[in-house]
Structure 1
Amino acid sequence: MIPCFLSSLCVLFIALAIPLILQKVPPNCIYGFRTRKTLSDETIWYKANKFLGYGLVISSLSSLLVFGGGSLFPQIIPPSFIVNYANQILLVPIIVLLVSCFIYLHKL
């Protein structure tokens, strides 16, 4: 049950990343990588959000690999591991992504 829900959450993140990658999301106050710098310049907005979108796909796929692997190969990744470490499996890649995004934004 939990791996299925968490896998669905990863798929949702990937779906949310696609418009960012395709640069279909204009600057706004709701959706995207919103900072003073990104909201001040449309070119920076699209570059930063494209970077965020690709990173979101990669981080979601890495989490999905663990959740899916746990479902397909419970002898290798036991369900108890997924239940006990679900937050870390989701959050560590996202935290790495956010740090990477701010570093990238600083270089723009």
Structure 2
Amino acid sequence: MFDQPFIVPALIILLISVPLVIGIIPRNNFYGVRNKKTLSGDYFWYKGNRFGGWTLIAASLTYMLTAAAFPYNNAVVDNFSIWQIHLGVLLLSLIGSLVFTFIYIKRL
């Protein structure tokens, strides 16, 4: 599994999302979902970051499932299309995660 092209970024995103979900990151200007609303109070900070953490975990797991379903193999000549699938799934799931998170925060 570690020979997949974007597994390390997916694992890093998964690991940095866990503290957001369990709510141990206080309001700050460096780490977490930061916008005007989340920085305005603890309620919005923790609710927004918990939801954002879950969506980032879902994005990471989506990539990992894709990597398992469409494994990248260096021995295969035409691997560029598989690489594009991996990149597309990772980017689309991360973008979707951010969009869903900011829509959620806006509705708080």
Matched, 1:12 2:12: yes
Task: Give identity over the alignment, percent.
Answer: 30
Task: Report the residue type matching 1:93 in the other structure.
Answer: S
Which ranges of structure 1 fall in alignment gaps of 5 or more residues? none
How many equivalent residue pairs? Answer: 104
Bigger shift: 80-89 or 37-46?
Answer: 80-89
Q: Secondary structure at the match of 2:37?
A: helix
Equivalent pair of 1:7/1:68 in contact (CA under 8 Å): no
Task: Report the residue type matching 1:89 in the other structure.
Answer: V
Q: CA deviation at 1:97?
A: 1.1
* 1:39 counterpart residue number: 39
Q: CA deviation at 1:86?
A: 3.5
Q: Which has the higher helix share?
A: 1
Which ranges of structure 2 fall in alignment gaps of 5 or more residues? none
Q: TM-score normalized by structure 2? A: 0.84
Q: TM-score normalized by structure 1? A: 0.84
* 2:101 counterpart residue number: 101
